[in-house]
Amino acid sequence: MDAYVLFSGGKDSSLSAIILKKLGYTPKLITINFDIIPSYKLAEETAKILGFDHKVIKLDDKIIKKAVDMIIEKKYPSPAIQYVHKTVLEILADEFEILADGTRRDDKVPKLSYSEVQSLEMRKNIQYLTPLMGFGYKTLRQLTAEFFELEEIKSGTKLSSDYEAEIRHLLKERGEDPSKYFPEHKQTRVLGLKKNI
């Protein structure tokens, strides 16, 4: 069974794909891009390292532009990131029967509530899988260190393949400083595998 995994090239979506493979699924990696900048490049490289099929799906830039409007209006990014994630899932659910992502138990955003997951699955007649939902931060750090060679970078210093990259670019285009809205945090990139998958 093919499982279409929302993929940023980071450790969480990479580990989700590996878990799904071990459960008997065939992971197909999907990176979303809004044609603002080629933010998908890192995810393409990581997909090759993992050996999984990967494709970039380009969606209407109105979605990401609305997210930027929300950030400027609300002065923080969480509702906007949540909006993009939910919108992307709604769109992909019309095309793919099994969707998955790297949402973790300890995540606040983006994350669907139990009732939102039920609604999505029932309305669209799909399966939505979140393989990392049962794992806490400490366990995930241990597992990803076991499987991957990782690079940790300060957010915004290197082009990443998540929604934040294109949002940051659009904020700059509007004369806004992204660091005013995004708290400093670290992002990880998978550079290699430590064990066979």
pLDDT range class, residue 62, cuts 50, 70, 90: very high
CATH of the domain at 139: 3.40.50.620
Q: Strands 26-33 and 2-6, how do they pair?
A: parallel
User: 12-56: per-residue pLDDT in tens?
Assistant: 999 999 999 999 999 999 999 999 999 999 999 999 999 999 999
Structural domain that includes position 83: 2-193
What is the residue type of 122?
M
- Cα separation, 190 vs 186, whole angstroms: 13
Mean pLDDT of the 59-66 span: 99
pLDDT score at 156: 63
Strands (E), the chain: 2-6, 26-33, 53-58, 98-100, 127-129, 148-154, 186-193
Whether residue 77 has a cis bond before it, omega within 30° of 0: no
* Virtual torsion, Cα 66, 17, 104, 163, nearest 10 deg: -20
Tell whether pTM > 0.85: yes
Residue 144 has pLDDT above 80, yes or no: yes
Task: Taking residues 121-128, report their average pLDDT.
Answer: 99
CB contact at 8 A, 99 and 28: no
The domain total for the chain is 1
